Amino acid sequence: MNRADQQYLTIIKDILEYGYYDQNRTGISTYKLPHKMMQFDLSKEFPILTSKFVGFKTAVKELLWIYRDQSNSVIKLQEENVHIWDEWMKEDGTIGTSYGWVVKKYNQVDKLIESLKNNPQDRRMIMNLWQIPHLDGGSLYPCAFMTMWDVTDGKLNCMLVQRSGDMPLGVPFNMTQYAVLVHLIAQVTNLKPGLFTHVINNAHIYENQVEGMKIQLSRGEAPEPPTLWMNPEIKDFYDFTIDDIKLLNYKHLGKIKMEVAI
């Protein structure tokens, strides 16, 4: 089975069997477990679920919106037929002082790339979207909020820390898009992709998603993972477009419709 599915579905089983049931800010109860983790060697595999369909292009478009465009404009996403932020759009068409706005405010991508190129053994290479003065100005506190970076033996390693993980809908996107980010940053810094570790502080399944997760668990063996292709000619991070990042031979067991909690 696809290693991404193995690790992901193990967490899903644990939550459904042992999860703590309680209320939260959305009004839809969850089953949750703290401190769940997945880890992938990106030199050997690309982590995307195949036990269900994951919208790879949509996930990558959101990633580029945050880190390449460093934008908070929901309208810009809508122009690319991405509607995952529609429910959080403010009257001005943005999500306020969150995500890409914070990346740009503190010039986080350029600082990371500079350190990776010039001081790769720096132990302070962090991109942090959890900037306290700006949290309340955003539509939503960032969920996948911090990446910590390391270079070991020419390989770029990344740990993603996520405060809150909607396991059925959000986490499949996050695990895939941040794996892509590691590949992108590695290419423009002349490094090889290494470990990608995904830590989720609050891993939860909403009550109205349980049946969908049971369907996913009941499916047969997930197909082997696809291969990530990136345009090898791109040397500047800001030159990547969605057409430069593709999945080859993505086979999956089909879509599962579930609701998002606002």
Catalytic residues, by residue number, are: 143
| Residue 124 tokens, joined | 């302070």
- Counting Cα atoms < 13 Å in the Cβ hemisphere of 208 gives 10
Given its phi and psi angles, is residue 81 left (phi above 0), alpha (psi -120 to 50 degrees) or beta? left
Q: How far is CA 53 from CA 20, 42, 169, 217, 259, in A?
A: 28, 20, 11, 14, 15
Alpha-carbon gap, residue 214 to 254, rounded angstroms: 14
> Alpha-carbon torsion 238, 239, 240, 243, what sign?
positive
For residue 148, give every residue at least 6 positions away whose Cβ sits within 8 Å of its Cβ, in sequence order, or none. Answer: 125, 126, 158, 159, 161
Classify strands 227-230 and 165-166 as parallel, antiparallel or unpaired. Answer: unpaired
* Maximum pairwise Cα distance, the chain: 50
